[in-house]
Amino acid sequence: MKETIKSLFLTLLVVASMVQSYYLIYRLPGNDPIVKSESEYVEAETMGIPMEVESMIFPAQMVIHMGDDRHSVFYPESTFYNLINSRLKGRQFDGFQRYALENINWADIRSSHEGIELQFDGGVPVALLQKVMQISPDSLFEAESISKILIYNTENEDQVRVFFFSNEGGVVYEATKVDLTVQDVKQQINFGKDWVPYTLVNGYYIPDEPIDMVETGLNIDLYTAEQMQRSLFFDFSITRYIREKNGSEIYTDSKRSLQVRQDRNWMNFTDPAAASTGDNSPSKNVVSAVDYVNSHGGWSGKYRLEQSEGRDDDKHLAVFRQYYGAAQYGAFPIIDLPTFHYGTITLEMRQGTIVGYERSLLYTTEGTWSKKVVTLQGGKELRDKIAVISKEAIITNLYPAYIPSLTKEGLLLQPTWVVELSNGATRVLN
């Protein structure tokens, strides 16, 4: 009998020891284990707004060609821009043929024909354009990125022609099967007849009259280094802290590295050892980039895919530009300045896996503390300023944008003209 009691007692002790070990390992209550696999990232706190990639695919500007060398320009979120864009999204584009870019006089077409030109600047992969436009699958150009789409009526006005311009240059693709009529194009270009007239000069457009924008003061907040650690590291409690001589702070778990510049409200995260298991498709890389930001900081306002390009080392770069706008006036890009980094989110990928991530720690919150309409110069006054800059290098683009700056009240967005040069430089016309 005594031996039976001893056996039962020993059994109870063993069971109690096992339960205690289980509690110690898994930290009950809370079911938060000390031992985790690398795939089990802790769900980060909600830090921003999640967005779909489709919301970031839209033209930087829409040029209306009215014939007789008359033009106008619509900007994102303006009434006519939205109306034309929504109509084009429902049209079908099919039957693609490839041509050499130099075989067609594009300057003559833009000056002489009625049409619409969608400008995407840095290029959008065809697979992403297919998410927002009815573009039929076609092996001829499915691997391309598109910088412009030109839609115009032929000279005898019995046909609509549509060309997709490769971002690489040298070739264009014509959609020979389009459910757009000459009258459809005429109705859409009529929106530009009473709008601000623009003049085509060496490939870019100058307004003949001043244009209005809204100078705005936005409320802001700041992500902390601790928030970003929780969001980006497998286990942020084991990160080491290093302070550089230049004032930057580095947090690392020996595999990943988070660099925070508190004086610039900027962060740079790198994960060079990240396993690469997917393919290097540009469109899939961009989708992965959007999903990554959704889970690691989120978005603050409206963004556009500004740049999507591959690199020689099998890496892919995606840059998203923040836009801000007011009803009636349109939405415009916020310029990332060397003296004040804000307005862009940049990700570097290797076969769909994020290996680099840069962004501002500042984000906008609801409400504004200042608003006023500002008039940007046009006509001769603007031409004179541009003429001075053109002595430095060939001008490739001109567009309105916002200059960001920090004040005691928050983020101030001031309207300005921005000039892009052929040497890669950007100039702001204050």
Give the model's pLDDT for residue 22: 45
Measured CA angle at 419 (ends 414, 420), to 5 deg: 130
Q: What is the rounded distance in angstroms from the CA atom of residue 331 to the CA atom of residue 327?
A: 8
Q: What is the rounded distance in angstroms from the CA atom of residue 407 to the CA atom of residue 114?
A: 46
> For residue 21, what is the enclosing H or E element?
helix 2-26
Give the model's pLDDT for residue 41: 41
Q: What is the rounded distance in angstroms from the CA atom of residue 311 to the CA atom of residue 313?
A: 5
pTM exceeds 0.85, yes or no: yes
Cα-Cα-Cα-Cα torsion 310, 174, 180, 286, nearest 10 degrees, comes to: -10
Q: What is the mean pLDDT of each run of 10 residues along the chain (430 residues)?
A: 51 51 40 37 65 96 96 96 95 95 92 96 92 92 92 89 92 95 94 93 94 96 92 80 82 90 91 74 92 94 92 82 90 93 94 92 93 96 94 95 96 97 91
Nearest to 395 by CA among 415, 357, 424, 360: 424
